Amino acid sequence: MSAPLLAVEGLCVEIPTQRGIVQAVRGVSFTVERGETFALVGESGSGKTMTCPAILRLIHPPGRISGGRVTFQGRNLARLPERDLERIRGSGFVMVFQDPMSALNPVLTVEEQIAEALPWGRPYSRRDRALDLLRRVGIPDPERRLRAYPHQLSGGQRQRVMLAIALARQPALLLADEPTTALDVTIQAQILRLIVTLQKEYGMALILVTHDLGVVYHMVDRVAVMYAGQIMELAAKGDLFARPRHPYTIGLIRSVPSIDRRRPLAPIPGSPPDLIGLGPGCPFAPRCAWASDECRTGEIPFVRVGDGHWSRCLKADLLEAEAGG
Ligand SMILES: Nc1ncnc2c1ncn2[C@@H]1O[C@H](COP(=O)(O)OP(=O)(O)O)[C@@H](O)[C@H]1O
Ligand SMILES: [Mg+2]
């Protein structure tokens, strides 16, 4: 078997604050294969957003990467000089942000921004390439839009332009952190579908970060469910929904109306823990119907519960019976 495109092992991020050290990411490990669609899912505050720049070694002080290792295309990113990292950030990975306005340059036209992202030395003109990319991302009247500035576009169009810029770089991996939450619901669905369609067409891998398990259901190959800075469950999408092996995942599935139509909607009671001064034990235990004393005090290992299926739960075996019923 060849090495994965991306391997994240034991990644930790800490942010010192007045109140103490926030442990935003606590030993996150996963791999992404070439061309794969991978999702990081979890409630707000679970550490999804901090994980993305940490992969790229872009955590700004006082925040810091306090542990772990990231291998991209076989190279340990911690060992690379900043110059090589910059190159990888520019073309190896591309991030698509929640708010495209902050990522687009307000004083450059759409054409200038796409052209800037195109690699040098292409045999055809940059303008034609830019125009072609705008067509690919479904921008109406692309000739006119080439001359537009970001503020002249709608939110959905700006997100399409971001995607055109990302495609111009032809990255091996696209990282999209809640790319559509700022948009209205119908546009959200269109843009997400477009991202996944183009990702497959261009052979890019995608890490899609979302709090919405409903989105994941239709779009991705594999899912990592995050809670309190840890991955609680990791599985192929089909296995995750058919045989969830972590109470938090079960809770999430039951709280999404479009997935679990058999039961009444049931939000998970309680709220996520404070990420300052977390002790051993499962961080989900206070909200978990299955929790026992050992869950509250012991170290909870991440164990294999099936083919490519992992759970960080001492009761994973009990849940198998539960989910089947
Ligand atoms: N600049 C910051 N200072 C202090 N705490 C932060 C900062 N940014 C994020 N956090 C904390 O880190 C944790 C993870 O945040 P984040 O990665 O943004 O979660 P998510 O994207 O899953 O909503 C949260 O508890 C959040 O409050
Ligand atoms: Mg976030």
Task: Give the CA count within 13 Å in the CB-facing half-sphere of 139.
Answer: 30
Ligand nearest to the CA of 48: 1
Q: What is the pLDDT of residue 245?
A: 97
List, in sequence order, every residue forming a beta bridge with 256; answer none if it has no partner: none
Cβ(25) to ligand 1 under 6 A?
A: no
Q: What is the pLDDT of residue 124?
A: 63
Are residues 71 and 7 in contact, defined by beta-carbon separation less than 8 angstroms? yes
Task: Give the CA count within 13 Å in the CB-facing half-sphere of 59.
Answer: 24
Strand, coil or helix: 219? helix
Other CB atoms within a 10 A radius of the CB of residue 170 amount to: 15
| Ligand 2 centre distance from Cα of residue 138 (Å) | 27
Cβ-based neighbours of 38, under 8 Å, separated by 6 or more: 30, 32, 205, 206, 207, 208, 220, 221, 222, 223, 224
The per-residue pLDDT string of the chain (325 residues; one tens digit each, 9 = 90 and over) reads 678 999 999 999 999 999 999 999 999 999 999 999 999 999 999 999 999 989 988 899 999 999 999 999 999 998 999 898 888 887 766 666 666 677 789 999 999 999 888 876 555 688 888 999 999 999 999 999 999 999 999 888 998 998 898 888 888 999 988 888 777 888 888 888 899 999 999 899 999 999 989 888 889 999 999 999 999 999 999 999 999 999 999 999 988 877 767 777 788 889 999 999 998 899 999 999 999 999 999 889 999 999 999 999 999 998 876 654 3
Confidence (pTM): 0.92
Q: Which of 62, 58, 87 is nearest to 177 (CA)?
A: 58
Q: What is the pLDDT of residue 265?
A: 77
| Ligand 1 centre distance from Cα of residue 44 (Å) | 9
Q: What is the pLDDT of residue 325?
A: 39
**Which atom belonging to ligand 1 lies closest to the Cα atom of 229?**
14
List, in sequence order, every residue forming a beta bridge with 38; answer none if it has no partner: 207, 222
Other CB atoms within a 10 A radius of the CB of residue 243 amount to: 16
Q: What is the pLDDT of residue 2?
A: 79
Q: What is the pLDDT of residue 267?
A: 84
Residue type, 230: Q
Are residues 39 and 208 in contact, defined by beta-carbon separation less than 8 angstroms? yes
How far apart (Å, rounded) are the C-alpha atoms in residues 210 and 178? 5
Q: If you take atom 18 of ligand 1, which residue's CA is the nearest one?
A: 49
Best of 12, 40, 49 to mutate for ligand 1, by most ligand atoms within 8 A of CB? 49
Q: If you take atom 2 of ligand 1, which residue's CA is the nearest one?
A: 15
Tokens of 26: 């606590």
